Amino acid sequence: MSTVEAPLYPIAVLIDELKNDDIQLRLDSIRRLSTIARALGEERTRSELIPFLSENNDDDDEVLLAMAEELGVFIPYVGGVEHAHVLLTPLETLCTVEETCVRDKAVESLCKIGSQMRENDLIEWFTPLVKRLAAGEWFTARVSACGLFHIAYPSAPETLKTELRSIYGQLCQDDMPMVRRSAASNLWKFAGTVESAHLKADIMQMFEDLTQDDQDTVRLLAVEGCAALGKLLEPQDCAARILPVIVTFSQDKSWRVRYMVANQLYELCEAVGPEPIRTDLLPAYVRLLRDNEAEVRIAAAGKVTKFCQILSPELAIQHILPCVKELSLDSSQHVRAALASVVMGMAPVLGKDATIEQLLPIFLSLLKDEFPDVRLNIISKLDQVNQVIGIDLLSQSLLPAIVELAEDRHWRVRLAIIEYIPLLANQLGVGFFDDKLGGLCMQWLQDKVYSIRDAAANNLKRLAEEFGPDWAMQHIIPQVLEIANDSHYLHRMTLLRAISLLGPVLGSEITRSKLLPVVVNASKDRVPNIKFNVAKVLQSLISVVDQSVVEKTIRPCLVELSEDPDVDVRYFAVQGLQSIDQVTMSS
């Protein structure tokens, strides 16, 4: 060690690895940049490390991304807020690289730093940076600039503010669609910092320009910001300036623009008063619900409940409900699925009478849908409707749907319904569950697909939690333990899995008296896979049962397995024995 003292060696390596040929080492090193900075001290971090990083701008993207992220929280390491400006240089370079995620991260970090900087420093360092980027030769710099105006603007003096507004206006009309897109998607952020007089004049002008852009993709993003922009304006201004744009866009030639409107409409409703909702936005929304492009209907259908919540029940019943009826019979399964995932939420809004009269038939038809996702989406939101109409009404139609899904030939559908069984059990109550669903839960334990058997075992655990050990003893355990005699070893494995899950829930007494004997019995199975799983289960049960049981039952069984001819069985048995020893030692 000729140059560095031994204790510093690790940190010296870390520093050297900033320039290692191996990208992984460089990445690791960059991720620990704060350690390096602390080792160098604030002074040298400012004078050496930061300039060094500024040079390091043609590294791999992953490294640059990590660097952009680290620099965002670097203020403490350069000596606090008064020195924060030194961080701007490396980040400025990163704002111009061609990889979008690096630029975005650099902009994010710049915003983080800028929001902590002192007002004078912002004027002296940050604003010039924004102006440099906005005038950048390559579009990448100008794209990044758009995301920084809202930090620079508030502290700028009046003349500079005027200049910044005019620069942003130019960015909105840049030659490159990428720059205009960035200007469009950042407009609402910038608008949030602009004084209301200029907001109404300059910013709204930019907004209008963007909404008339040739490129669909720019218009799209202009729509996206509509709601946020609308909330900044007075309701009457919003109704006068934003509303017409939205109404026009809701009839745009491009389905993607209409799709965006369908997604944004609800947010916009919050910005304008109730009157424009009734006169303008409701008709627009109804049009979108009946759009001839399925993608637009999907987006609109997904918002149906939220939209109803801001309307009066009368309006919802009069205008929205007819559309919902149509959508429940839509030719696109994806539209029906989107509707099914939210339609249950309409029940509390409409009240009991309307729900039973109008909504229930829709639920029922969706529950019988030929497309499993639609049925699943209804079932997943069952709790919402249960509160309104009660389970008795639903259960007659619910049960066939559940049984059908439980036996669906696609295992993912079966898996999905298993996930909802605890929710159903909770809603339907013990009695109903025992009658109708208990059998299904057992049936899944012997499914052909591993994931289903595994989920079924997990399901039993959750049910045991829901209904308590007594119920489990009566309704689950006998049937489950019967599987021990199954001829198929995979089913016997599932049993072991179920036992290891149920043990902790049912407590030490039941485990000792009911479960453990079955496990010990299984240790004499002829299949090694069963035997080493026995070892694993035993290991997991050590903490469940009393110490005496461990010594009396579990240890002898593991000892026996540890002499098994099969190497894997021996391995897990020894592991089990070791954890017994650990428990004994610690207690």
Partner 1 sequence: MKGGDEEVATPAGPPQPLDWKFSKVFGERIAGEEIQEVDIISAIEFDKTGDHLATGDRGGRVVLFERTDAKDHGLSRRDLERTDYPISRHPEFRYKTEFQSHEPEFDYLKSLEIEEKINKIRWCQTANSALFLLSTNDKTIKFWKVQEKKIKKISKIIADPSKAVGNGNVASSSNSNSPKPFPTNGVSPDRSCNHLGNDISFPPGGLPSLCLPVVVTSQETNLVARCRRVYGHAHDYHINSISNNSDGETFISADDLRINLWNLEISNQSFNIVDLKPANMEDLTEVITSAEFHPAHCNMLAYSSSKGSIRLIDLRQSALCDSHAKLFEESEAPGSRSFFTEIIASISDIKFAKDGRYILSRDYMTLKLWDINMDSGPVATFQVHEYLRPKLCDLYENDSIFDKFECCLSGDGLRVATGSYSNLFRVFGCAPESTEATTLEATKNPMRRQVQTPSRPSRSLNSITRVVRQAETLGVDANGNSLDFTTKLLHLAWHPTENLIACVAANSLYMYYA
In degrees rounded to 5, what are phi and psi of residue 33?
A: -60, -35
Instruction: Kindly tell me which residue out of 30, 64, 97, 501 binds partner 1, with binding defined by CB under 8 A.
Output: 97
> How crowded is residue 490: how many other Cβ atoms within 10 Å of its Cβ?
15
Residue 455's CB is within 10 A of a number of other CB atoms, namely: 22
Task: List the one residue from 4, 201, 329, 430 that touches partner 1 (CB under 8 A).
Answer: 4
Using CB under 8 A, pick the residue from 24, 76, 80, 98 that binds partner 1.
98
For residue 254, the minimal CB distance to partner 1 (Å) is: 4
Q: Which of residues 217-236 bind partner 1 (CB under 8 A)?
A: 217
Residues 116-155 that bind partner 1 (CB under 8 A): 138-140
Write out the binding residues for partner 1, residues 159-198 only, by CB under 8 A.
176-178, 181
Which CB sits closer to partner 1, 32 or 231? 32
For 400, the token pair is 């066939």
- Find the length of the chain: 587
How many CB atoms are located within 10 Å of the residue 485 CB? 10
Q: Which residues contact 48 (CB under 8 A, 6 or more apart)?
A: 40
Nearer to partner 1, 13 or 583 (CB): 13
C-beta of 292 vs 548, nearer to partner 1: 292
- Of the pair 218, 402, the CB lying nearest partner 1 is at 218
Q: How far is the CB of 325 from partner 1 (least distance, A)?
A: 24
Token pair listed for 217: 């993709």
Residue 211 tokens, joined: 């909404």
Positions 392 through 451 that interact with partner 1 (CB under 8 A): none
Q: Which pair of tokens denotes residue 151?
A: 């930090």
Residues 248-287: x where in contact with partner 1 by CB under 8 A, - otherwise, as a string: ----xxxxxx------------------------------
Q: Determine the Cα–Cα distance for residues 223 and 229; give it in Å rounded to an integer.
A: 10
* Binding residues among 283-312 for partner 1 as defined by CB under 8 A: 292-295
**Residue whose C-alpha is closest to residue 213's, from 262, 171, 180, 241:** 180
Taking residues 18 to 57 in sequence order and writing x for each that binds partner 1 by CB under 8 A, - otherwise, the string is xx---------------x--xxxxxxxx-xxx-xx--xx-
- Number of residues binding to partner 1, judged by CB under 8 A: 59
Distance CA 471, CA 475 (A): 6
Q: What are the two backbone dihedrals, phi and then psi, of residue 75, each rounded to the nearest 5 degrees?
A: -55, -45
Residue with tokens 């009839």: 251
Which CB sits closer to partner 1, 227 or 257? 257
Measured from the CB of residue 137, what is the shortest distance to partner 1 in angstroms?
A: 9
Given a contact cutoff of 8 angstroms between Cβ atoms, the answer to whether 376 and 395 are in contact is: no
Q: Please state the closest distance from residue 130 (CB atom) to partner 1, in A.
A: 19
User: What one-character-per-residue DSSP string does 313-336 give?
Assistant: HHHIIIIIHHHHHHHHT-S-HHHH
Q: Minimum CB separation from partner 1 for residue 107, in Å?
A: 16
Q: Which residues contact 215 (CB under 8 A, 6 or more apart)?
A: 177, 180, 181
Our finding on whether 5 is near partner 1 (CB under 8 A) is yes
Task: Say which DSSP state 96 is in.
Answer: T
Q: Which residues bind partner 1 (CB under 8 A)?
A: 1-5, 7-13, 15-16, 18-19, 35, 38-45, 47-49, 51-52, 55-56, 58, 96-100, 138-140, 176-178, 181, 214-217, 252-257, 292-295
